[in-house]
C-alpha cells in the first residue's frame, strides 16, 4: 500500500459500495465491557461466525480529553486510527467520530483494488490513508449532513450508535456512568447532608437547568 495514495470519494454514491463489499447485512455490533486489557469496545462481527470481526471502535477518557479509536483489522496488525477530542463541541466530536467509522468501510472496500492493495499491508501507510479518508468524509458530513452517508444502512447505524455511546461514556455523558459516579459519592453526601438538603439540591439543579435552556 502506498502512503502517497490519496482517497477521493463521490459521496453519497460510493457509500453503498463500501457496505456491499463488507456484507454488513450479515453482521451485528457486539459490546465488550472494560477489562484489565483495555477500555470498553464495540466490534462488528459476522452473525454466522462471531469470530470473524469486520471493524472495531473503542473510547477512553484520558487526561488530555476523550480518545476514540477505530480499526478495520481487529486482532491483526492492521492500522488503528486514534482521535483526541479536546475543545470541540459534542456535535463536532460525534460528527468526526462518525466519519472515522465510515472511513473504516471505505478502507475495506479500497484495499481490494490497485489503489492501495498489496499482499503485505503497511500499517503506517494504511493509517495515513484512513486519516485522509476521514478528512474527506468529515467535510462531506459538514456540507451535506447525514445525507452524505446515504446507503450505509441500518447495521452501520447500529454500529455507530453503540460506538458513540462509548464516546459518551468517555466524555462523562452516559447515564449509567453518571449514576455510578453518584452512587460512589452518595455515602459522603449521607454523612454531611440531610434528606431535605439533598432534595433541595436536586430542585436547585432543575431550576438552573431550566434557565440554561
Are 155 and 149 within 8 A, CB to CB? no
According to the model, what pLDDT value does residue 141 have? 93
Contacts of 153 (CB under 8 A, 6+ apart): 19, 24, 25
pLDDT of residue 2: 45
* 43-55: average pLDDT: 92
Q: Which of 26, 5, 12 is nearest to 110 (CA)?
A: 5
Preceding amide of 4 cis, omega within 30: no
What average pLDDT does the segment 167-174 reach? 81
Cell numbers given for 70? 477505530
Pick from 106-110, 152-156, 170-174 the range whose average pLDDT is largest: 152-156
CB-side exposure of 59: number of CA atoms within 13 Å? 29
Overall pTM surpassing 0.85 (yes/no):
no
Question: What pLDDT was estimated at residue 93?
Answer: 92
CA–CA distance, 172 with 38 (Å, rounded to integer): 18
Tell how many helices (H) and how many strands (E) occur in the chain.
6, 5
What are the tens digits of pLDDT across the range 97-143? 999 999 999 998 887 664 444 445 677 888 888 999 999 999 999 99
Per-residue pLDDT, 41:
92
Question: CA-CA distance, 129 to 132, in Å (whole number)?
Answer: 5
pLDDT at 211 > cutoff 60: no
The confidence score (pLDDT) of residue 191 equals 72
Strand duo 53-62 + 65-71: pairing: antiparallel
| Band of pLDDT at residue 69, cut at 50, 70 and 90 | very high
For residues 186 and 51, the answer to whether their CB atoms sit within 8 Å is no
Average pLDDT over residues 14-38: 90
Q: Which residues pair with 82 in a beta bridge?
A: 69
pLDDT, tens digit, 9 for 90 and up, residues 56-65? 999 998 888 8
Q: How far apart are the C-alpha atoms of 68 and 70, rounded to whole Å?
A: 7
Mean pLDDT of the chain: 82
Amino acid at each position: 500500500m502506498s502512503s502517497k495514495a490519496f482517497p477521493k470519494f463521490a459521496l453519497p454514491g460510493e457509500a453503498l459500495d463500501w457496505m456491499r463489499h463488507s456484507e454488513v447485512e450479515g453482521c451485528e455490533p457486539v459490546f465488550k465491557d472494560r477489562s484489565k486489557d483495555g477500555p470498553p469496545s464495540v466490534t462488528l462481527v459476522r452473525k454466522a461466525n462471531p469470530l470473524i470481526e469486520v471493524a472495531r471502535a473503542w473510547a477512553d477518557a484520558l487526561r488530555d480529553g476523550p480518545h476514540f479509536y477505530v480499526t478495520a483489522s481487529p486482532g491483526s496488525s492492521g492500522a488503528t486510527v486514534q482521535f483526541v477530542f479536546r475543545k470541540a463541541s459534542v456535535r463536532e466530536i460525534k460528527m468526526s467520530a462518525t466519519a472515522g467509522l465510515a472511513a473504516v468501510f471505505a478502507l475495506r472496500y479500497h484495499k481490494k483494488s490497485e489503489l492501495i492493495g498489496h499482499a503485505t499491508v503497511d500499517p503506517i501507510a494504511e493509517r495515513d490513508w484512513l486519516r485522509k479518508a476521514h478528512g474527506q468524509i468529515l467535510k462531506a458530513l459538514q456540507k451535506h449532513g447525514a445525507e452524505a452517508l446515504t446507503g450505509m444502512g441500518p447495521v452501520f447505524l447500529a454500529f455507530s450508535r453503540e460506538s458513540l455511546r462509548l464516546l459518551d461514556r468517555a466524555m462523562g455523558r452516559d447515564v449509567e456512568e453518571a449514576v455510578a459516579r453518584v452512587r460512589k459519592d452518595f455515602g459522603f453526601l449521607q454523612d454531611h447532608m440531610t434528606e431535605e438538603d439533598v432534595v433541595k439540591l436536586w430542585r436547585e439543579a432543575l431550576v438552573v437547568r431550566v434557565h440554561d435552556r
